[in-house]
Amino acid sequence: MRIVLLGYGKMGKVIERIALERGHEVVGRIDETNRADFSGFSPANADVVIEFSHPDAALQNLKDALSQGIPTVCGTTGWLDHRPEIEALCAKTDGAFFYASNYSIGVNLFFRMNKILAKLISPYPEYTVSMTEIHHIHKKDAPSGTAITLAEGILAENARLSGWGLEEGDGKTRLPIGAVREGEVPGTHVVTYDSDVDSIEIKHTAHSREGFALGAVVATEWLAGKKGIFGMDDLLG
């Protein structure tokens, strides 16, 4: 496949290496220094865009990629207030769009475990719930997209919770999410249920960016020839 990398930071470089190892061709490496060059890509010379940039750039990147008719895989978080707009554009252009807050297979299994645990605990109001996410100091958005996906899974299974809050919430009516930025941590997420008599905790720790990058390339391969809007649940079945 002919891949355009839209965003060429640390993640973009790991994605490039894995894509090349899997026999693909990287035909474009676009960042803020050569952003205008992206207008030269179309389905005639690119099969897919992989968009891993930053929250301030993602919305326009996605608009351009879909408007230019190129199937797009996105892993940038922090822009999701505009997701309906992007999905409408994908439908209008009869395009293909794949989004995940996290492309790690392990994290997506963690998402499922999180929902199961939330459902099991929901009948027991003596448990309060909280979450902590830890990422490297370069991450722009907080809480992480992964934390938001985890929170949405918990809210779907616990009717007593009205929403989530960054660094605020009592764990009974509102889910608090703590966001820590330190060093070069790839990503750690912890969900904790506390009662007077015990605590239950589930945790996912990423050891490197490799798992995220591999998942993004696998999603790119899976998207080939498809039209519509997809995510990791579609890929994993």
Residue 100 in marked binding region: yes
Q: Are 27 and 70 in contact (CB under 8 A)?
A: no
Residue 171 in marked binding region: no
Q: Is the peptide bond before 143 cis (omega within 30 degrees of 0)?
A: yes
Residue 21 in marked binding region: no
Residue 35 in marked binding region: yes
Q: Taking each helix axis as running N to C, give the angle between helix 105-121 and helix 145-157, from 0 to 180 degrees, rounded to the nearest 10.
A: 30
> Has 139 been annotated as catalytic?
yes
What's the one-letter identity of residue 161? L
Distance in angstroms (rounded) separating the CA atoms of residues 185 and 188: 8
Return the SS3 of 27. strand
Active site residue: 10, 63, 82, 135, which one? 135
Residue 163 in marked binding region: no
Active site residue: 24, 54, 139, 204, which one? 139
Q: Are 204 and 110 in contact (CB under 8 A)?
A: yes
Residue 53 in marked binding region: no
> Has 92 been annotated as catalytic?
no
Distances 139 to 9, 106, 108 between C-alpha atoms, Å: 12, 21, 20
Residue 103 in marked binding region: yes
Residue 146 in marked binding region: yes
Residues annotated in a binding site for NAD(+)? 32, 75-77, 100-103
Residues annotated in a binding site for NADP(+)? 35
Residues annotated in a binding site? 32, 35, 75-77, 100-103, 136, 145-146
Which residues are known catalytic residues? 135, 139
